[in-house]
Amino acid sequence: MVNQQVVPMSMLQLAGAYGLILLAVGFARVWQIGQEKQLLWASIRMVLQLLAVGYLLNLIFTVHSPLPVLLMLLAMTGFSLQVAGSRSKKRMPHFYRVMGSSIMIGCGGITCYFCLLVVGYSPWYDPRYLIPLAGMIIGNAMNGASLAAERLSSEMHDRREEIETAICLGANARQAAESAVRAAYTAALIPTMNTMAATGIVALPGMMTGQILSGTEPVVAVRYQIAIMCAITGSVSITSFLILLQGYRHYFTKAHQLKD
């Protein structure tokens, strides 16, 4: 019989957990890696963001309307773009337009398919399902999208002479950029493939662990985890594909010449 009672966590216990962050900051200080302030600020930002989201979700759960749920998803997408932009050292042309449209189409399409057809809960805007599931899909797709965009930018820069030579020999923009696009797409999929390969044996994913801790039967939690991993892989694949499909074209003129 599965225990349905969740063990509560007090603020004192939470403070004890935060002590592990301070331990990491201490080790960074000892080794003088120069990242102590960044690590501490990232942890403070994480705590503040999660607390804000927790209170906001409590409010959204009490309002039985799709509008606040959709606004929450839109805000999550906007923040994912901001994080992706801050991580990219080399940005492709029209970065935010390409990233934004790709995440909206890729993540939005996968989220609708997964929530409506795979899980099939009702109503469709139920925040207890839609927001957490969409958050996992958007978050993982953002990582793949960032890798795809940055790798494409690096490849187009490093392969400039190769691309120009291909164009001089009669190749069009798609043919000349094919190697760069392929390398960027491979880089975008590697983290997801590594996660799938390690899931279950090396590590128990967060969603599955959370469900088990909340009292869900392990077999049910496993089914949900398999389903969400499939959704994440699909969203990363589609979003990265759309980014690269649009992205490489902005490096060329309409006459298939490489831009300066």
Return per-residue pLDDT of the chain as tens, 260 residues: 455 567 788 889 999 999 999 999 999 888 888 888 899 999 999 999 899 999 999 999 888 899 999 999 999 999 888 888 877 777 888 889 999 999 999 999 999 999 999 999 888 999 989 999 999 999 999 989 999 999 999 999 999 999 999 989 988 989 999 999 999 999 999 999 998 888 877 777 877 888 888 878 889 889 999 999 999 999 999 999 999 999 999 998 888 788 87
Structural domain includes residue 110: yes
Residues whose CB is less than 8 angstroms from the CB of residue 150 and which lie 6 or more positions away in sequence, other chains included: 87, 88, 89, 90
The number of distinct structural domains making up the chain is: 2
Same domain, yes or no, for 39 and 92?
Answer: no
Place of tokens 């190749």: 171
Same domain, yes or no, for 56 and 70?
Answer: no
Same domain, yes or no, for 100 and 225?
Answer: yes
CA–CA dist 118, 91 (Å, integer): 36
Q: State how far the alpha carbon of 125 is from the alpha carbons of 4, 61, 70, 143, 213, in Å.
A: 26, 11, 8, 25, 25
Predicted pLDDT at 4: 57
Same domain, yes or no, for 231 and 161?
Answer: yes
Nearest by Cα to 243 from 122, 112, 97, 116: 97
Q: What residue numbers bound the domain in which 17 lies?
A: 9-62
Predicted pLDDT at 230: 94
Same domain, yes or no, for 100 and 210?
Answer: yes
Structural domain includes residue 195: yes
Predicted pLDDT at 80: 87
Same domain, yes or no, for 72 and 146?
Answer: yes
Q: State how far the alpha carbon of 200 is from the alpha carbons of 129, 143, 208, in Å.
A: 23, 21, 10
Structural domain includes residue 218: yes
In this prediction the pTM is 0.83
Same domain, yes or no, for 92 and 197?
Answer: yes
Same domain, yes or no, for 54 and 97?
Answer: no
Structural domain includes residue 3: no
Same domain, yes or no, for 38 and 87?
Answer: no
Structural domain includes residue 2: no
